[in-house]
A and B are shown apart, each in its own frame.
Chain A
Amino acid sequence: MDHIDADVLIIGAGGAGLRAAIAAAEADPSLTIALVSKVLPMRSHTVAAEGGSAGVIQAHDSLENHFNDTVHGGDWLCEQDVVEFFVERCTPELIQLEHWGCPWSRKPDGQINVRAFGGMKIERTWFAADRSGFHILHTLFQTSTKYPSIKRFDEYFCIDLLIDDGRAQGATVFSPSTGEFTAITARAVILATGGAGRVFRQNTNGGIVTGDGMALAYRHGVPLRDMEFMQYHPTCMPGTGILFTEACRGEGGHLLNKDGYRFLQDYGLGPVTAEPRNKTMELGPRDRLSQAIWQEERKGRTMTTPAGESYVHLDLRHLGAAKLKERLPLICDLAEEFMGIDPATAPIPVRPAVHYTMGGIEVDIRTATTLAGLYAAGECSSVGIHGANRLGSNSLGELTVFGHVAGDEAVKFAKGAPAAQGGKLLDQAKASAAKVLGLRDQKGGGERHAVLRKEMATTMEKGCGIYREASEMQKTCDKLAELKRRYRDITLEDRSSVWNTDWICAVELGYQLDVAEAVAYSALMRRESRGAHQRIDGFEKRDDVNFLAHSLANYRDGAAPEISYGPVKITKSQPGERAYGALGEALEAKEASHA
């Protein structure tokens, strides 16, 4: 087995990993940074983010507003000190991206343009048409190539972390192209491996979004926090789950039921106004909109595709062809290519699909996990800014703000840590390689992992969907236990070593099953309704007495995870009623008059 030694090892080269790599390279150019990615960096799923990234820039806006929108939006399950830190740093990070060439959309005078987004009081979403994540990712990737200390390992798949002396000291990786394993040792390790949305059936995520880093940290005793909070995005393509950005509504799009009625007014999001109004109707937050669509379906007011998926209409016709082409070109292409629809002349069928993993690896404000030398940033982490419901355009900001922090912190840690010692770590690397080789070569009982993957995704959707009840969640937990048993006995068809994607998918499924279990048990144990976790079995209300707390899923080998709870940091916003539309405005006015 090859052995490479670096100072900082970063696993994942999407937005957070690349931003961390650049920060680390700038913090100390003499350090070697190993950047591992299971795909070419520009294939990472940051590429699919569409709408934009929040950062206060208008004179009539304030950091206070961004803070309040985020904390209210998260139903007070946010770490408020972290949110405060975050909103202060969003705009400088967006300016940094601008200096690196990100083609942000502009006003006629050349200033940065911003658009409205759901749950945001003032327009503050910077955008690059509707390809914001794509442009951020390519800007970061291309910029990263100017730092000679960043040594990339493109298309290397991580199979385990290397841990000794109570510290993370590297990882074992595998190159599908050569079929060889490599041990990469390092003095600090950053996980930036993205979310886990593919554990659900209908989702917006790329095939690579399989929770790898979450599972790796979790198996080594690092808790996964707030995993029950899976975000459903309200406007996705029925069947494939492909995303139609929230910017469709930010630009003025309407949601209509089968009667052509703007049904959101029936769910506390009104009044209906001619012009879009922030935090009202279609500019409400994602959890409320997805829930409203679910309710409409139960009332028989949605439509159904030939394949049996229910849907509502996203109507953009009134925006006109010119504006659609300028602001939402990708959306127009997707509707045309996949559905044969021109959004300028026909409404787009949409339905909610799983979009974002709001929980993740527990980290503090410095992105440090509970394991020394191990950091996490981006969707794989839970730094505490999203709470029970993430606001659209806060995740791209998270990548840059906390990717940057992770790079700086890992460098600081690496400089104070002794160099990794080969011996024991290399033994570990050999053992982890032997384990995945065992999975590849085992005789098994003849079952394909693809069958298990489908059953997992189906049971997750059934038990841990938009509305939840104990009996279904328990069934999902039981089903996952069964799938884990069957997983141990799978048989791979492919036993070769070069580009054996049968094998890689099987290892990924192992990650997914562990993460899915953390989601399902965290959901079952939270006996209240908050943000994206809504129950219909007697726990319909938020319960601050018992559940104003972060869930922590702790891994137990061969058993169900143990769920415990940790405190939520409240600094300046006491939990209150979370409301949008007219009621939200009234509450805000009342609060302002008190202040």
Chain B
Amino acid sequence: MPEAATAVKTVELKILRYRPASDERPAFGSFKVPYTEDMSVLEALQTIKDTLDGTLSFRWSCRMAVCGSCGMMINGKPQLACNTLLRNLPPGPVTIEPLNNFPIERDLVVSVGDFVKKIESIYPYIIPKEPKTVAEGPYLQTPAQLAAYESFSDCINCMLCYAACPQFGENPNFIGPGAMALLQRYNGDSRDGGQQKRLDTIHGEDGVWSCTAVGYCSEVCPKQVDPANAVNQNKTNSAFDFFLRFLRPGGAR
């Protein structure tokens, strides 16, 4: 069949571009790429980069929704580009923007350093309740004890929940949903004894009480981590902890 006889279906992507060396402010650019039924938004972006405009910048790696690199706003919603298939989006142009609430470094690349600092700030490692040597073997942990924190350990650090969080949008110092989920992942672990130390990091004005319980963070989470639930559990823990301080010898600090 001559090529002209085959109508090539295309899809249009409207992408928010920003090149710090040449652009004063971000502006949309439009691209049309051939559409196939199994194409992801990431593959469409790769097609643009490989064939139309090599200057388009975005992060990606695993292509299978586990490395957390390719979060972006797709039609206004925070999503991973790799597991968002074009066929599941409404007809018409697809709008692509960098993740909300983060400074844009270039095109779809946002600054991630502050997010990593938040993760580091909550003591994201086991502080053993009862230290043990390797020679003494593994700790016992029943499936029920595992289930108490397992879903919070599934966070891939994709930052979609931060893009969804209105509170983080207003106050970039807010500890935010992802770090709270990680905190709950360790505080809920039967092997851990660092609960108090971590709770102390979230009492302040940028801590757990900043959350206004919108719940959009859990809605956009691609791994069903349910950070809103982690935040709520920690509000309870934080309140309980606050109350206990008055009962403890030494009282409030």
Binding site for B on A (CB under 8 A): 39-40, 42-45, 47-48, 92, 95-96, 98-101, 103-106, 108-112, 131, 134-135, 138, 142-143, 145-146, 154-155, 177, 206-208, 239-240, 242-243, 306-307, 330, 333-334, 337-338, 448, 450, 454, 492-494, 496-502
Give complex CA distance A218, B101 in Å.
43
Contact of B109 with A by CB under 8 A: yes
Give complex CA distance A206, B85 in Å.
18
Q: Which of chain A's residues have a CB closer than 8 A to the CB of B37?
A: 306
Contact A45 B61 (CB under 8 A): yes
Q: What's the nearest-Cβ distance from chain B to residue A451, in Å?
A: 8
Give complex CA distance A485, B64 in Å.
34
Q: What's the nearest-Cβ distance from chain A to residue B190, in Å?
A: 9
Contact B62 A45 (CB under 8 A): yes
User: Known: A106-B146, A498-B20. Contact between A493 and B141, CB under 8 A?
Assistant: no
Count of A-B contacts judged by CB separation below 8 Å? 165
Contact B55 A99 (CB under 8 A): no
User: Known: A43-B67, A43-B69, A448-B50. Contact between A498 and B61, CB under 8 A?
Assistant: no
Contact A43 B57 (CB under 8 A): no
Q: Which of chain A's residues have a CB closer than 8 A to the CB of B64?
A: 48, 240, 242-243, 334
Q: What's the nearest-Cβ distance from chain A to residue B153, in Å?
A: 5
Contact B157 A206 (CB under 8 A): no
Contacting B125 at CB < 8 Å: which of A146, A243, A338? A146
Nearest-CB residue, chain A, relative to B47: A450
Extra 20 A-B pairs, beta carbons < 8 Å, given A142-B182, A207-B61, A338-B85: A42-B68, A42-B156, A43-B62, A43-B68, A45-B67, A47-B66, A48-B62, A100-B126, A103-B146, A105-B146, A109-B142, A146-B123, A240-B63, A307-B38, A493-B53, A493-B54, A496-B55, A498-B20, A498-B106, A499-B106
Q: Which of chain B's residues have a CB closer than 8 A to the CB of A242?
A: 63-64
Q: Which of chain B's residues have a CB closer than 8 A to the CB of A496?
A: 19-22, 55
Q: Which of chain A's residues have a CB closer than 8 A to the CB of B40?
A: 338
Nearest-CB residue, chain B, relative to A143: B125
- For the complex, count residues of B whose C-beta is within 8 A of A: 67
Q: Which of chain B's residues have a CB closer than 8 A to the CB of A109?
A: 140, 142
Q: Which of chain B's residues have a CB closer than 8 A to the CB of A177?
A: 105, 111
Give complex CA distance A106, B139 in Å.
11
Q: What's the nearest-Cβ distance from chain A to residue B34, in Å?
A: 13
Residues of chain B in range 65-85 having any CB-CB distance to chain A below 8 Å: 65-69, 83, 85
Q: Which of chain B's residues have a CB closer than 8 A to the CB of A334?
A: 64-65
Give complex CA distance A243, B105 in Å.
32
Q: What's the nearest-Cβ distance from chain A to residue B192, in Å?
A: 8
Give complex CA distance A100, B194 in Å.
13
Choose, from B130-138, B199-207, B230-238, the stretch at the interface: B130-138
Contacting A208 at CB < 8 Å: which of B61, B120, B145, B191? B61
Contact of B51 with A by CB under 8 A: yes
Nearest-CB residue, chain A, relative to B51: A450
Q: Which of chain A's residues have a CB closer than 8 A to the CB of B85?
A: 337-338
Q: Which of chain A's residues have a CB closer than 8 A to the CB of B120?
A: 145
> In terms of DSSP, what is the predominant structure of the interface of chain B?
loop
Contact A337 B83 (CB under 8 A): yes
Contacting B62 at CB < 8 Å: which of A40, A47, A239? A47
Q: What are 17 A-B pairs at a CB distance below 8 A?
A: A45-B61, A47-B62, A99-B138, A101-B189, A110-B145, A134-B156, A146-B123, A206-B61, A207-B63, A306-B37, A334-B64, A450-B50, A450-B54, A498-B19, A499-B106, A501-B58, A502-B49
Looking at B53, B62, B107, B143, the one whose CB has the most chain A CB atoms below 10 A away is B62
Q: What's the nearest-Cβ distance from chain B to residue A15, in Å?
A: 13
Residues of chain B in range 89-147 having any CB-CB distance to chain A below 8 Å: 105-107, 109, 111-113, 116, 119-120, 123-126, 128, 132, 134-135, 137-143, 145-146
Contact of B150 with A by CB under 8 A: yes
Contacting B66 at CB < 8 Å: which of A104, A112, A330? A330
Q: Which of chain B's residues have a CB closer than 8 A to the CB of A142?
A: 119, 124-125, 182
Q: Which of chain B's residues have a CB closer than 8 A to the CB of A42?
A: 67-68, 156-157
Contact of B60 with A by CB under 8 A: yes
Q: What's the nearest-Cβ distance from chain A to residue B63, in Å?
A: 6
Contact B138 A448 (CB under 8 A): no
Give complex CA distance A96, B126 in Å.
12
Contact A95 B125 (CB under 8 A): no
Q: Which of chain B's residues have a CB closer than 8 A to the CB of A145?
A: 119-120, 124-125
Q: What's the nearest-Cβ distance from chain B to residue A533, in Å?
A: 27
Contact A500 B57 (CB under 8 A): yes
User: Known: A242-B63, A499-B106. Contact between A39 and B22, CB under 8 A?
Assistant: no
Contact A154 B116 (CB under 8 A): yes
Give complex CA distance A103, B83 in Å.
25
Nearest-CB residue, chain B, relative to A134: B66
Contact A100 B55 (CB under 8 A): no
Q: What's the nearest-Cβ distance from chain A to residue B17, in Å?
A: 12
User: Known: A43-B69, A337-B65. Contact between A98 and B138, CB under 8 A?
Assistant: yes
Q: Which of chain B's residues have a CB closer than 8 A to the CB of A243?
A: 64
Contact A450 B105 (CB under 8 A): no
Contact of B154 with A by CB under 8 A: yes
Give complex CA distance A207, B61 in Å.
5
Contact of B186 with A by CB under 8 A: yes
Give complex CA distance A499, B55 in Å.
9
Q: What's the nearest-Cβ distance from chain B to residue A23, in Å?
A: 13
Q: Which of chain B's residues have a CB closer than 8 A to the CB of A450?
A: 49-51, 54
Give complex CA distance A337, B40 in Å.
10
Contact A110 B142 (CB under 8 A): yes
> Lowest 10 A-B CB distances belong to which pairs?
A110-B140, A493-B54, A450-B50, A206-B61, A499-B106, A142-B124, A101-B126, A502-B54, A494-B55, A206-B62
